[in-house]
Amino acid sequence: RGLFVENNERLLQKNIEILSTTTCVQHKVYVQEAPDFVNSIGLRVDIVLQNPNNNPVLDVYALRSWEFFIPFSKDCGADEVCLSDLVLNVKMNERDQSQSPMLVSSKNRRISFTVKVQNKRENAYNAKIIATYSKNLYFSSKGPSDDVKCNLETTEAVSCQVGYPALLTGQEASFDINFDFNFNQLQRLTYVQFEAQSDSKEEYPGDNTVHITFPVQYDSEIILTRDTNIHFYVINPESIVQNEVRSNDDIGPEFNFTLKVSTVNFPVSMVYLTVSFPVSTKENNPLLYLTGVHNEMGSDVSCETRNLVDPLKISEKPYMASFQKENLRGIEELDCKSAACNSFKCLIKDLKRTSHYFLNVTTRIWNGTFAASTFQSLKLTVSTEIETSQPELVIINQKKLPVQITISKPGEKGEVPVGVIVGSVIGGLLLLAALVLLLWKLGFFKSKYDQLMKNAEDDAEAEDLQENEA
């Protein structure tokens, strides 16, 4: 903390001549901006002979070194013992109090804390805040404050000096400190521990520490999109169902789609892409026939298709297909919930930032199934899903994507649902009852009744006259 003015160093060596009288030498020392104002500055003086082998000699039993201590002037009362009481408060900014994980992304990778420390007792010399944090964080910056200075202690600790040379009695210091997430160190739990320290003696150390822990999830920012060669397919009702299949063209039209995996600014080590496609109906009629799975040359995309591509070896030998007449009127979508499916999984490693990865899938639609079945229109759906190797830590917001084609059969009569028939009958009865009630309120039935009663009376009078004449 102290340096000699003569050489600007902590050590000064000079020759002096010792006489029979007292010799006094003055040296000026200046004190640097010292963090320690409680402990005294030490000064040591050593003496040796310039020529120890010549006379005169020093007394063997006499002291040859002395230590002196220069105390600082401290405002700590009459006992000169500084008894401080630091109270620390830390608030995490822009985060609710729920236990849900914080979603971290390249656009949301900073967390900020407002730190307040107050001294309720005697001066706290060299007061500072030590922040220790988890490996998935690094110190980014400190908010604007001239009274607070922060310096890195280690890669996982930062020290912020609050109040120099001391945090006085009743004084409060406040500042904001920012941390950024380290995308090269991903972990589920994040913590930051703040501790208020000083060179004074702390009276109540229990309120000097604040520990903040919260869970996090990382947004991979991966986007999955698709592109298909056709969106609609119309079945010719007059087409002849062909059972002998000699080539893929005999199966039906091509239904090909391309899946694109796009990254933004988040590094991802590994993702899995799963493709599930319907292969048969409940009556075991075939739906889609997988003919190929291709990726770009040199890309880090690898797929395990096993025996799913051309399983019937149609490219090598003819195949006799059979189709059962099936009622598909009540089905709006043929997917993995309403039909049997096959699946294959692809692995993409070491995804680079702002890059695109493509997967091309080629299939054929079994035309015979839809030509022999009864329906008006339905959707044939391929399900795709993407997830990271750590799905609970690194998430994908839109991880499921359907690939659909609409198949229609013109000229097919629609089936009236039972609910529609029952509803129509109930509606007709209600309408009839309403009409009867309206006629009754208008007096229609009363006038008819009066007319009938009058006719009956006239007939009775006529019969009485005839009897009297007789």
Residue 337 Ramachandran class (φ > 0 left, ψ -120 to 50 alpha, else beta): alpha
285-321 pLDDT, tens digit each: 999 999 999 987 767 789 999 889 999 999 889 999 9
Q: What Rg value do the Cα atoms of the chain yield, rounded? A: 46
Shortest CA distance to 77 belongs to which of 122, 10, 18, 21? 122
Mean pLDDT, the chain, integer: 86
Q: What is the pTM of this model?
A: 0.71
Shortest CA distance to 294 belongs to which of 247, 253, 346, 254? 346
User: Could you tell me if 142 and 161 are in contact, meaning their C-beta atoms sit under 8 angstroms apart?
Assistant: no
- Residue 144 is encoded by which pair of tokens? 């604007």
Q: How far apart are CA 465 and CA 328, in angstroms?
A: 78
Direct distance between the N- and C-terminal alpha carbons of the chain, in angstroms, rounded to an integer = 155
Q: Quick check: 421 pLDDT over 70?
A: no
Question: Is residue 97 very low, low, confident or very high in pLDDT (cuts 50, 70, 90)?
Answer: low
CB-based contacts of 203-206 (< 8 A; 24+ apart in sequence) = 203/83, 203/84, 203/85, 203/121, 204/85
Instruction: Specify the DSSP class assigned to residue 169.
Output: T
Shortest CA distance to 179 belongs to which of 171, 190, 165? 190
Q: Between 466 and 345, whose confidence is greater?
A: 345
Q: Quick check: 364 pLDDT over 90?
A: yes
- Beta-bridged to residue 173, according to DSSP, are 117
45-84 pLDDT, tens digit each: 998 888 878 777 788 888 889 998 877 666 676 666 778 8
Q: How far apart are CA 334 and CA 370, in angstroms?
A: 12
Q: How far apart are CA 195 and CA 32, in angstroms?
A: 26
Residue 97 Ramachandran class (φ > 0 left, ψ -120 to 50 alpha, else beta): alpha
Question: Is residue 428 very low, low, confident or very high in pLDDT (cuts 50, 70, 90)?
Answer: confident
389-417 pLDDT, tens digit each: 999 999 999 999 999 999 999 876 655 55
Work out the average pLDDT over 339-346: 96
190-234 pLDDT, tens digit each: 999 999 998 888 888 889 999 999 999 999 999 999 999 999 999
Shortest CA distance to 44 belongs to which of 19, 70, 5, 8? 70
Question: Is residue 430 very low, low, confident or very high in pLDDT (cuts 50, 70, 90)?
Answer: confident
Query: In terms of DSSP bridges, do strands 377-388 and 268-280 run parallel, antiparallel, or are they unpaired?
Result: antiparallel
CA separation (Å) from 245 to 316, 322, 366, 372? 11, 10, 11, 16
236-285 pLDDT, tens digit each: 877 778 889 999 999 999 999 999 999 998 889 899 999 999 999 999 99
Query: In terms of DSSP bridges, do strands 377-388 and 333-334 run parallel, antiparallel, or are they unpaired?
Result: parallel
Instruction: Specify the DSSP class assigned to residue 105.
Output: B
pLDDT at position 463: 62
